[in-house]
Amino acid sequence: MAQTKFSAGERVAITRAVGFSASAAACRIVAALPRDSGPQQYRVRSDSEGFDRIIDEARLEARLHE
């Protein structure tokens, strides 16, 4: 498997959350999804939500401070 930008357990923020209610609140990477074609995607979970989201890598940024 190719190297990904984020690893499972890493804290990130969702950016450019247009069209749905996800905010830039803290999330954690659950898993990097297999990449056959298209952008790298990740399964992420927000601290304030009880479900996972699938988000493109371009819409995630590392959280340097908690």
pLDDT at residue 19 in the model: 59
Amino acid at 49: E
| Nearest one of 37, 40, 48, 38 to 13, comparing CA atoms | 48
Task: Give me the tens of pLDDT residue by residue for the chain, a chain 66 residues long.
Answer: 568 999 999 999 988 656 555 556 689 999 999 988 899 999 999 888 889 999 999 999 998 765
| Nearest one of 3, 1, 12, 16 to 43, comparing CA atoms | 12
Give how far Cα 46 sits from Cα of 2, 16, 19, 34, 62, Å: 25, 15, 17, 21, 14
Two tokens, residue 47? 């601290």
pLDDT at residue 5 in the model: 95
